[in-house]
Structure 1
Amino acid sequence: MFLCGAAPGSASMASAPAVEDTHIHLDLRQRRISVIRNGHRIGPWPVAIGDPRTPTPTGVFQVENKRVNPQYESTKSGRVHPVTGPSSPLGHRWIGFLRQGPNQFGIHGTPWPHWVKIRAAVSNGCVRMLNAHVQKLYELVDVGTPVKITR
């Protein structure tokens, strides 16, 4: 199970080590995300980011885990959302990049594309992408890929 600021419910998906010349770059100011591979930019794609009260963390992290059809657990109630897939609050792909205690931050899809299209600051710290875009990002990165988040 995952939530922006939630703990995953199962072990990380195993993957090959990240290619050293590949990283994810998230620009919070422009609210866009890209993959940089061998000096070439793939993307950028628009994103929704953390609300000012629950901001998306900045710094250099790495992909810790990846999931297809992740389960969402509410940060407020602890209730597990029964729906998985594109209609889930996490969409159909999850790329986790930071744990803080029981909480985990990640890049994921969303059933609410409006927030991504207007590049809103509405999440609990996670990065929301359109489902088609996060699927492409998911295919481009592995566990261990660096994630650089800047303002």
Structure 2
Amino acid sequence: MNSNCPHILINLSTRRLAYHKGDGHLNEYPVGIGKTSTPTPTGTYAISEKAMNPLSAELGTRLLRLSNTKTCIHGTDDPVSIGNLVSGG
């Protein structure tokens, strides 16, 4: 990965998503991650799709589908879930 390109890093142990642009750290957010039975996959992925207001309301108002097509970064309609082990992976 070229560190000069915008990228997202997710720290599963702290349940934080960090957005970087170039060598600068721009923003950091708490995130919900996969349940023990459906863990969040690790690896390096590209964003293959961006969507506003995806069809499922439980995905919130934004969706970033990752290149493995099963996993996405998305909003939520349940703010209490943020920072917890809640997703399907």
What are structure 2's unaligned runs of at least 5 residues?
none
Take 2:36 and 2:71, find their aligned partners in 1: how far apart are those partners? 15
Residue 55 (1) aligns with residue 39 (2): yes
| Moved segments of 4+, more than 3 Å | none
Greater Rg, structure 1 or structure 2? Answer: 1
**RMSD of aligned residue pairs (Cα, Å):** 1.6
2:50 maps to 66
Amino acid at match of 1:112: D
Per the TM alignment, residue 26 of structure 1 is displaced from its structure 2 partner at its CA by 0.6
Secondary structure, counterpart of 1:89 in structure 2 = helix
Native 8 Å contact 2:45 2:68 kept in 1: no
What are structure 1's unaligned runs of at least 5 residues?
1-19, 73-87, 126-151
Amino acid at match of 1:92: T
Take 1:29 and 1:43, find their aligned partners in 2: how far apart are those partners? 18
TM-score after normalising by structure 2: 0.89
Residue 25 (1) aligns with residue 14 (2): no
2:78 maps to 112
Take 2:11 and 2:75, find their aligned partners in 1: how far apart are those partners? 18
Residue 35 (1) aligns with residue 19 (2): yes
How many residues are treated as equivalent by the alignment? 87
Take 1:60 and 1:40, find their aligned partners in 2: how far apart are those partners? 19
Per the TM alignment, residue 21 of structure 1 is displaced from its structure 2 partner at its CA by 2.1
Share of identical aligned residues, percent? Answer: 34
Residue 123 (1) aligns with residue 87 (2): yes
Take 1:30 and 1:43, find their aligned partners in 2: how far apart are those partners? 15
1:45 maps to 29
Per the TM alignment, residue 34 of structure 1 is displaced from its structure 2 partner at its CA by 1.1
Take 1:98 and 1:22, find their aligned partners in 2: how far apart are those partners? 16
Larger RCO, structure (CA 8 Å, separation 6 or more): 1
Residues 86-105 of structure 1: matches in 2 within 5 Å? 88-99=57-68, 104-105=70-71
TM-score after normalising by structure 1: 0.54
